[in-house]
Structure 1
Amino acid sequence: MTTASETLEPALSVRQVLTLDRVLAGEPEVVAGASQLDRPVRWVHVAEAPDVGVMLTGGEMVLTTGVLLAGDEEAQAEYIRSLHRAEASAVVLGLGRAFPTPPDVMRRAAERCGLPMVVLHRPFPFAELTEEVQSRLVRRKFAAVSLSEAVRTALTGLITAGAPLQRLLDEIAKHAGCPLVVTNLAHRVLATAGERSAVDDVLRDWERISRQAGGSEGDGWVRAELGGRGERWGRIVLCGYRGDTATGRLLADRAAEALVLHRMLGGSAHSWEEQSAQSLLTDLVSGVVPARQLLPRARAAGLPVNRRTFVPLVVRDGDAAQLDRVLRMLGLSGLVAELAEGAVAVLLSLARDQDAAALTAHFATRLRSESGVRKTVVAAAEPRTTWEEVPAALREAQHVADAVAQSATGLDLPVVVRLRDVHLRGLIRLLRDDPQVQAFAERELDGLLCGDRHAEQDLLPVLRTYLATGRNKSHTAQLHHVSRPALYRRLEAIEARLGVDLDDFEQAASVHIALLAHDAQQG
């Protein structure tokens, strides 16, 4: 990894130096190497010796009057070549007695070498230029060191406090002032940070942009490798960083150090992938972010989205890592994430010519086989062929899974449960947030939900069992471990409180629907 001393390179380019007021007073003119003016200037060096090149270490802007070169064209050409070999950033020649006009030999040699050559048409105290540039470079280096330490301190504090990965990335993005992306070595996005709209712009064509950018750092793309002990496992990229490249590299290096430390202290690249999938699927289910805006994130996460069939699944009491293993084992494309306690979402992405129903059933069967739990509930929505329909489909699968979890025991369910398999309970789950359904449930059950603790603890469970067993009094009494006469007294109390006759099918059905809605609202 690049060290701090290596990243603290100059933050002024030749072009920037030439725009300084003190330089403009000397009427500078670029006579060669105009295409190389963005070279960084590490230092400014005043030198008249013909062999000045041996005293340079690279990155210097050399100021000279050429007094010792006048009249010797070979010495003039060698002077330029020596500066080029020493990797000087530019040469500035003050016109005067030695050279009243730009010397052609030096100009042609500089052009061949690609070395910026600038002449000053007015007398100019070199000391003023060196003082100005050196002070600016020192100030920028100090600012870079201060920024480096501020970032290091902030990130170390967050890691010590056990902050999650996203909190670290948000802190880095705040200092960088641009979007940042964490990827694995295959360019798959593991995490992002920064202004949401700016991040979406970066992700919209992420794979092409990231591969095209390669290892270069042009246009504000600054990257640092993630890894340790001789193994690389990812990279962090600052996308469109507006500061100078040296400071950007420093920020990226500090960020990489923090991310590697975060992983060593308990995180892992795999968990970052899980967090990325969880964030995406949670946003899809919530509907807070329009599906179209989430499309770049899905594509950058490696999910195929063009001309695909999407099958959302929700598995009760599943293990995200195990589901992901089964997905990879079967060679299926998809995302896996834990949505809530006890529920794991899977979004399958299948080719249009694949049999969605057969592959879904195969996935569920293999999952049961791998987990060893024959009653694993795999709830599925009907396949969707457009991305915009995925959020509603995910919510449908979640409703089905919840409906099965709250259904009566002993139901004979298929290996993949769909909305049609949960009947009335599934419908109620879908309508549970409707205000009219909520009002209906409160109105029908008011006599048992009026704050009477005895009614809620003793009578409501009896009513629930009685209706779930098809109004079978013997079975209800057995399940509640009470005698038949005791059960009759409780049923009479329920009927009196609700003002209904439970032997009447329509009234009992109305109460049953209200109870299902109440239970669905209670979660």
Structure 2
Amino acid sequence: MPPTLGALLRTPSLRLRLLTGQDRTHRQVEWVAVSELGDPTPYLAGGELVLTTGVRWVDRLPDLRAYVRRLAERDVAGIGFGVAVNFDDTPEELREAAEEFGVALVEVGRQTPFMAVGKEVSRLLAKEEYEGLTRAFTAQRELTRAALTGSSAVVDRLARELGGWVLLLSPDGAPWHAAPAGAAARAPRLAAELTRLRGAGPRASVSVASAGDRVSVQPLTTGGRARGYLAVGGVRVSGSDDRTLVNAAVSLLSLELERSAPGRGSKFRSGVLSALLDGALDPLHPGAADLRAVLPAEPVVVAVAERADPDTPLPEGVLVARHEGRTVLLAAAGTEESVFGEVLLGPVGLSSPGGYPDLAAARSQAERAMAAAAEQDEALQRFDQLPGGLLGLLANPAGARLADDLLAPIDEQRAAPELLASLRAYLAASGRWDAAAEQLGVHRHTLRYRMRRIRELLPGDLDDPDHRTELWIALRVREARSGQQGRS
């Protein structure tokens, strides 16, 4: 959370002196705003410490009561007045108005630049953010360790970290575990919300008021099915650290329910992969050694297909999950290609080998390869066999048609092979005649004649960089297609 006004007052280097608002030092300072405007409120969001030297007050003292009232209505954290700049002392009218409207008034000495106050607030904000991240990492590590003991330990640990109560509910709403134990009595009051969640889909969540408390309820989903629910109350889960912690608990509990479900022969099957794809689990975190023990060793590959064969047993070290409408498979990079065809049905896209930090990119690669496999009517397509970059986006039937349309005037000529080769060499050499002619093994005058003929055939202007780019891409797309036909 942001630093308090009291924390700034206790910073010796700032030498700040509180004039009014002794009961307001608990106020959080969201930011420092330096303003000499008569009415700075249009530029304030609330929670700022407003600093001024009163430079516009020198000739005529304004209505300081109205000035302070506007700032009080804007809910500023306080007013800081810089003395010994335009005024030797803080104006008495400003002090009286601050007293009247309950605004903290701080005197800033001449030796303290306003920038120093702003820097201190920034430093305290950064320190708080770092400490929050450290607490979050520590808490997630403790949750992961608790998961080795079972779901009850995860619930107990989450309740301890949040300082509230936590309920683990069965799919029909019965309390499986409560922390503290008395929280189990809240389960019947959540029955209606669970009915709403079942109708909203496996990824929906809800936040409701129950018995004067704000309660968050989330489904514990694996394989597209809710295997239970997690309810958290007695605390406002609003900060990113708290939300991250709850999301991690949801993933860990989902994994545990998946592991303990009847008929599951492999620990952490689809649940762990879903959590990895969602970013809820970090296998490289120092506290995730036990998780890494059940994951394929790096480098890994991701395969994507529309669905999987439910009757095919999964080989050891292979994880499969239904994720965002498609079936995703994770395996070690050395896995036999036949495994993907046995487990997955339909066109399969396979990513390049990589590490766990690149899992999102690997999934994107696999989806792109799957689309190419479907278009080319292939059982499996590897991403590293696709043309890279923007050319890869055009290496499909639609791109091939565009390339053919663009090059059609040349294709119709008897000397089409020589003209196309000359055009490619000319574009590759950026229009340098000697370099292009040398690459082709012809005299530069021969190349000039061919390029003149090409200019006459093509509707565009070869001096236009856009047209030259289109021609280059068309040639490259055609080459990629020829290469794929040659491999088949």
TM range, normalised to the smaller chain? 0.3 to 0.5
- Relative contact order, higher structure (CA 8 A, sep 6+): 1
The normalised TM-score by structure 2 is: 0.37
Larger Rg: 1
